[in-house]
Amino acid sequence: MLIFESDVIPVLMKQLLAILMISVFFFSCKKENTDPYALPDSYSNQTLGKSANDLLSASKFTALNIQIQYMPGYALDTQVITKIFTFLNSICNKPGGIMINQVEIPGSGDSITPIKAALLEKTYRTAYTSGSTISVYVLITDGYDTSVTTLGFAFRNTSVCLMGKNIFDHSGKPGGITRVALETSVIEHEICHLLGLVDLGSPIQTAHRDVAHGFHCTNNNCLMHFAIELHQGLGAFSTVPVLDSNCLHDLRANGGK
């Protein structure tokens, strides 16, 4: 079953998920596996936040592999790749190294829903968790989320989706945030949800969860403030925000550096 960050699922999608869940229930007696979204790797089919400790600590996995798949026109600039590496290397205990690679996949050219993202991941993802290496998947699409304002979302335990076109359309304007800074901010924010923030796999050490906005931080200067993943909130920042001390404390308490 897919569990997404609750605040970014449109109402229609919740209803569709409910219908699908009911359908699976009715047909489960006929087939051994009716989940059309299931990935071939059972480890990567867990719910959001379940791999927080596995990603942060070296106890089960000593290396981290990030597979980025982008639709035509939305490849990440090498500056973004370097920034993501530096960011993760400062947080995750991975003595075996952090690998990041990106490859192009065909465009879909339309709106992206969490369910579509899950199906695209199932179709194209090739890197899975194996041996001592844990893998994270980043999908960059050429469409908008159906809610229009969403720039990205995290789903499953190792999966992230970015709305490439939406990010492109809301960056690089005179006086505003650059495309490199916005892409970096959204990817780092969504990966931090996989790392368990806020209180979604990495238990909070002090009260700082913005309950009104799901699993986010109350500090509006923090990378985990809810506005980072919505272009409506872009007026609040022009450079890549960093994690505040409360969020860093949570990650360290759950095995991070």
Least Cβ distance, residue 112 to Zn ion (angstroms): 16
Q: Helix (H, G, I), strand (E, B), or coil: what is residue 12? A: helix
Q: Is 186 in the site for Zn ion (CB under 5 A)?
A: no
Would you give the end-to-end CA distance of the chain in angstroms?
31
Q: Is 204 in the site for Zn ion (CB under 5 A)?
A: no
Q: Name which position in 121, 183, 199, 244 contacts Zn ion (CB under 5 A).
A: 244
Q: Name which position in 222, 234, 240, 251 contacts Zn ion (CB under 5 A).
A: 222
Residue 5 in tokens: 């960050």
Q: Which residues, 6 or more positions from 145, have their beta carbon under 8 angstroms from its beta carbon?
A: 8, 111, 112, 113, 151, 153, 163, 166
Least Cβ distance, residue 149 to Zn ion (angstroms): 12
Residue at 163: amino acid letter: M
For Zn ion (CB under 5 A), the number of binding residues is 7
Least Cβ distance, residue 52 to Zn ion (angstroms): 14
* Phi-psi map region of 74: left, alpha, beta (phi>0 left; psi -120 to 50 alpha): alpha
Q: Pick the stretch among 68-76, 83-91, 172-180, 227-235 that binds Zn ion (CB under 5 A).
A: 227-235
What is d(CA 11, CA 32) in angstroms, rounded to the nearest whole number?
A: 30
Q: Pick the stretch among 77-85, 169-177, 210-218, 249-257 that binds Zn ion (CB under 5 A).
A: 210-218
**Which residues lie near Zn ion (CB under 5 A)?**
217, 219, 222, 224, 229, 244, 247
